[in-house]
Amino acid sequence: MATEVSVPTLGESVTEATVGEWLKKPGDAVAADEPIASLETDKVAVEVPSPVAGVIGELKVEVGDTVEVGAVIATVEEGAAPAGKGEEAGRASQQREEGQEKRESAGDAGKAAAKASASEVESLPDGGHDSGSVTMSPAVRRAVLEHGLDPTNIKGTGKDGRLTKEDVLAAAKSKQAAPQDASTEAAPAPSVPASSKGERREERVKMTRMRQTIAKRLKAAQDNAALLTTFNDCDMTAVIEAREAYKETFAKKHGIKLGFMSFFAKAAALALKDVPAVNAYIDGDEIVYHDYVDLSVAVSAPNGLVVPVVRSIDAMSFAEIELAIADYGKRAKEGTLTMEDMQGGTFTISNGGVFGSLMSTPIINPPQSAVLGLHRIEDRPVVRDGEVVVRPMMYLALSYDHRIIDGREAVTALKIMKEAIEDPMRMLIDL
């Protein structure tokens, strides 16, 4: 008996997706709830599970096809697994269940899993300059992480040059065999670069659905909003000293490093309470104000920029903020963020400093009206009490929609953030 496999619900307002990769082929054994395909939506990659155990029958769509929610994409022949394959599928199902149990215990394991400081989360400024990233499905991404490979060094054999799981496994096998081959075979003569042979190449790769959405949203922000950016510089001495003084105690108590992002998140929450227009948005001919701060944090994922949301950050502790942001950064790299993780958001912080950016003009994340851009910290000469001294300085950039936020309000909000960072005690006594 054949059971149809349909496109599941993808999230609020998401009605279609693109088939990114088939994880199973006709004749393959599959366990109940085992992923058989990866779909790309505007924001995340979604795996389609098999509703029953059996053998993959017909694949009704191809990689690259656009499918709507509820559409039938494949069939599964129930109870027809060839000898030996059912047991293999069962083991795969058990491994997935164990993995799910680990993910469900993220509340306890999050501290251990998110050891990387939130200041080290790979955030992208103004839409992200990640054109060198490789498009990967969740299954391929897991294989790359498991074998510790650089996906940019693997030649893809899938449609439009996409990497498949078989490509990754073949590369891993070659990597394991390389030491033995190197000891028994002479080193090949160095190849002559293609450019020196007079050869010129071009590569044409179709944009992923996520990249297309990023492009449309950023262009829409420029077209629809009256964008303006105000700058300030910030002396990071006090925050650096605070981190140095309390980093060991903080890490021991909370299981995570004390990073810069929690300081800026708290400073932003302080400013948004004093200047509510920066935390508002335009809806038709009305302005919608929020009495809470849901912070969008721009992070880099294998398929492009994603912006997960930390809810009610104004009511969170430093440790809760660090854990939440670090967990989002980790899950973005693994491709396990959900649609719910990225819905909403009233204000965005984008950290280009982790890539070495000195200054930028970030673009707002519609329908939000403002975004704070962070940049690299560098020692610069400044004047203090009539003397020139060297201090660790960072440029701050606040891009805002001038339709709703006046220049005075934008400058005031950024000044509050600057003062809170330069004197962290302000965040404790609500100044």
Burial level of 387, CB count in 10 A (0-12/13-18/19+)?
exposed
Query: 67 with 73: CB under 8 angstroms?
Result: yes
* C-alpha span between 297 and 306 (Å, rounded): 8
Measure Cα distances from 15 to 7, 137, 172, 293 in Å: 10, 20, 37, 29
What is the token pair recorded at 214? 């990023």
Beta bridge partners of 6: 72
Q: Which of 65, 108, 406, 423 is catalytic?
A: 406
Nearest to residue 239, comparing CAs of 115, 137, 132, 374? Answer: 374
Beta bridge partners of 395: 233
Query: 92 with 234: CB under 8 angstroms?
Result: no
Buried b (16+ CB within 10 A) or exposed e, 272-310: bbebebbbbbbeeeeeeeeeebbbbbbbbbbbbbbbbbb
Q: Are strands 347-351 and 370-374 parallel, antiparallel or unpaired?
A: parallel
Q: Is 160 tagged catalytic?
A: no
* Largest pairwise CA distance in the chain: 85
What is the token pair recorded at 321? 């903020």
* C-alpha span between 353 and 355 (Å, rounded): 5
* C-alpha span between 256 and 116 (Å, rounded): 7
**What does the DSSP assignment read for 290-327?**
-SS--EEE-EEETTEEE--EETTGGG--HHHHHHHHHH
* C-alpha span between 101 and 170 (Å, rounded): 30
Beta bridge partners of 18: 40, 66
Question: Rg (Cα) of the chain, in Å, rounded?
Answer: 25
Q: Is 402 tagged catalytic?
A: yes
Measure Cα distances from 181 to 149, 185, 187, 189, 376 in Å: 19, 6, 10, 15, 43
Enzyme catalytic residues: 402, 406
